[in-house]
Amino acid sequence: MINNLFSVFDPTSHLGLSLNWIRAIIFLLLTPLYWATPNKTNIMANKIFYTLHFEFKILLGTIASNGRTLMFTALLFLIAVNNFIGLFPYIFTASRHLLIALTLSLPIWIALICFGWINKTNHIFSHLVPQRTPGALIPFIVVIERIRNLIRPITLAVRLIANIVAGHLLITLLGNQTASRTTLLIIRLIFVQILLLTLESAVSLIQAYVFAVLSTLYAREITSH
C-alpha cells in the first residue's frame, strides 16, 4: 500500500544514481545498432517516417521543407517513445513531467514568436484583431489574443501531462484494489488492467501525434503569408 498516490510517478534510482536521463537515452544509444542492418522493422519505420513527412508537409503548406518536417517528425517520435517506455513497470515517464514537457514546447514557441515578430511583423499584428471586429471590442480582443498566444506552450505541455497522468493514475488505483480480494475479482481486475494498458498504449501514440500536429499548425499560423 502506497502512502502517496502520486509517488508512483517519482523518478527511480539505483545505488544512488538517478535513472531519469539514463532511461531516456537508452533508446538513443540503441538506435545506431537498429539502423546498422536492414530488416522488416526498419522498412516499416521508414514507411512511417515518409508518411509523417508528407502529412506534415501538407499541414505546413507553403513553408514546408524537409528540415521542418523532419523536426516535427523527430519530436513526435521522441514523445511517443518516452510515453510508451513509461508504461513498463518501475520506469519513470519523462514526458509526464512538467519540466520535460515545457522543454519540448517552450523552445518551439519562442523560436516561432521571435521569427514572426522579426520577419512578419504586420502578419502578427493582423492576427491580433480578426476581420470585422467592432471598434469597441478591439482592446479586449487584442488582450485575449495576446493571452492565447502566451499560454500556447503551457497548454501543449499540460495537455500532454494530463492525458498521460490520468491513465497511469487509473491503472495504479485499480492495481491497489487486489489486496484481500477474491480470486474472481482479481481476475476481473487483471482483465481491466490489460484493457487499460492497451488504451494507454494508444494514448501514448495519439498524444505524441497531437503535440506534433498542434506545433505544426502553430508554426504555419505564425510563419505563413
- Taking only the tens place, the pLDDT of each residue in 62-104 is 666 667 788 888 888 888 888 887 787 767 777 777 888 888 8
Q: What is the pLDDT of residue 69?
A: 81
Q: What is the pLDDT of residue 136?
A: 78
pLDDT of 176 higher than 60: yes
pLDDT band at 165 (very low <50, low <70, confident <90, very high): confident
Instruction: For residues 167 and 185, give the distance between their C-alpha atoms in angstroms, rounded to a whole number.
Output: 21
- Taking only the tens place, the pLDDT of each residue in 38-56 is 667 677 777 888 888 888 8
Q: Mean of the per-residue pLDDT values for the chain? A: 76
Q: What is the pLDDT of residue 132?
A: 74
Q: What is the pLDDT of residue 75?
A: 85
Surface-to-core class of residue 201, CB atoms within 10 Å of its CB (0-12 exposed, 13-18 middle, 19+ buried)? middle
Q: What is the pLDDT of residue 1?
A: 44
pLDDT of 37 higher than 70: no
Q: What is the pLDDT of residue 197?
A: 85
Q: What is the pLDDT of residue 35?
A: 58
pLDDT band at 25 (very low <50, low <70, confident <90, very high): low
Surface-to-core class of residue 147, CB atoms within 10 Å of its CB (0-12 exposed, 13-18 middle, 19+ buried)? exposed
The whole domain housing 122 covers 5-223
Domain count, the chain: 1
pLDDT band at 2 (very low <50, low <70, confident <90, very high): very low
pLDDT of 123 higher than 80: no
Instruction: For residues 168 and 171, give the distance between their C-alpha atoms in angstroms, rounded to a whole number.
Output: 5
Q: What average pLDDT does this structure show over 17-27?
A: 60
How far the first Cα of the chain sits from its last, in Å, is: 57
- Taking only the tens place, the pLDDT of each residue in 124-148 is 777 777 777 777 777 788 788 888 8
